[in-house]
Amino acid sequence: MSPYKILFHVNELERWPVALLNLVNLIKDIGKENLQAEVVANGPAVLFYAASPEFRGKLPATWSDEFLQKLLHDMQEIQQLGVPFLACANALKMNALEERSLHGFVTVVPAGITEIVKKQSEGYGYVKP
């Protein structure tokens, strides 16, 4: 069986918890060996990739430090399974973020929309939680 090819697109900060839960549940259900996935963030969602404390104030006020740490832990575990987390360079500029301020597991692509179109042309399913 060929692995399922899935692209997760997150462009709203508030959608990260659902996106990560969807991805964790998908991996649990079909197994990482049956999945080829990628997560692309653009728009304000790239703020979640910021490792710098000064950007925490831009995250939803309802996200406690404990909740935020759990989300980051889930993200790192997913990345260690081979799922890349990508950030749109245009969105980084729009949100006054520099690449060096991101968590080390994040890869920057020139344009999130281009990444989405490329992956769809390669047969990836599109998921927007």
The pLDDT assigned to 97 comes to: 93
β-pairing verdict for 35-41 and 106-109: unpaired
What's the N-to-C CA distance of the chain in angstroms?
26
Please determine, for residue 32, whether its predicted confidence score (pLDDT) is greater than 80. Answer: yes
Among the CATH numbers 3.40.1260.10, 3.90.1150.10, 3.40.50.300, 3.40.50.720, which is that of 4-127? 3.40.1260.10
pLDDT above 80 (res 9): yes
Question: Domain coordinates of the chain in residue numbers?
Answer: 4-127
User: CB of 85 within 8 A of CB of 105?
Assistant: yes
Calculate mean pLDDT across residues 54-76.
Answer: 87
- Given this model, what pLDDT does residue 112 score? 97
| CA–CA gap between residue 87 and residue 93 (Å, rounded) | 11
Q: Taking 90 as the threshold, does the pLDDT of residue 57 lie above it?
A: no
| pLDDT recorded at residue 52 | 77
Cα angle, residue 9 at apex, residues 69 and 120 outer, rounded to 5°: 145
